[in-house]
Amino acid sequence: MSRSRLTARVPTSNNAAASVSVIDTATRTVVDTIPVDPSPVSVAISPDGAKVYVGHDNAGNQVSVIDSATNTVAHVITVDNNVGGIAITPDGTTAFVANFGDGTVSVVDVASDTVVEPIAVGAGPLGIAATPCALTPVPPASVPPVPAALAIAPRFTG
């Protein structure tokens, strides 16, 4: 998906329908539906628009990678248990997958779509976001430290 096409199309996960709908923002219509069984819950797009990452809740430990040029699932990545949110760094090199079942975040190399390592973060991580701060060089000692590059929201129970 080219950058211009990306700005005009928005993927959304349809949990009960086990699919991703591609919405054309100009016409406000669904232009494609991609099967991604089972239970998609989260979506993240690579900065170049080439890949769409879809996290699956009930599958336990899967992230589907959609080739946005063909709108088909290219392959599936196995991560830790119960996928929540997915965030991709602004430079497009790394994806972070919150796994609320295991209390971890899986670090994924986007070039190879393989898990590099899990990071233990505590009980129930669900939402996650990557900011440009992750790419900021270490400042001189006279400059205050840059805030954390990842924000992780826990899953609330009760």
Which domain, by its residues, includes 83?
A: 3-134+145-154
When divided into structural domains, the chain yields a total of 1
In three-state secondary structure terms, 5 is helix
In this structure, is residue 15 part of a structural domain? yes
Compute CA 11 distance to the chain's CA centroid, rounded to the nearest angstrom.
12
Q: Give the predicted TM-score (pTM) of the model.
A: 0.78
Q: Report the C-alpha gap between 60 and 145 in whole angstroms.
A: 37
Backbone phi, psi, residue 8, to 5°: -100, -5
In this structure, is residue 139 part of a structural domain? no
In this structure, is residue 56 part of a structural domain? yes
Q: Report the C-alpha gap between 40 and 74 in whole angstroms.
A: 16
Q: Report the C-alpha gap between 54 and 148 in whole angstroms.
A: 24
In this structure, is residue 140 part of a structural domain? no
In this structure, is residue 62 part of a structural domain? yes
Per-residue pLDDT of the chain (158 residues; tens, 9 = 90+): 444 444 467 777 777 778 888 888 888 888 899 998 788 888 999 998 899 999 988 766 899 999 989 999 999 998 988 888 999 998 899 999 998 888 889 999 999 999 999 999 888 888 888 876 644 444 444 444 433 344 444 444 44
CATH number at residue 119: 2.130.10.10
Q: Report the C-alpha gap between 66 and 33 in whole angstroms.
A: 12
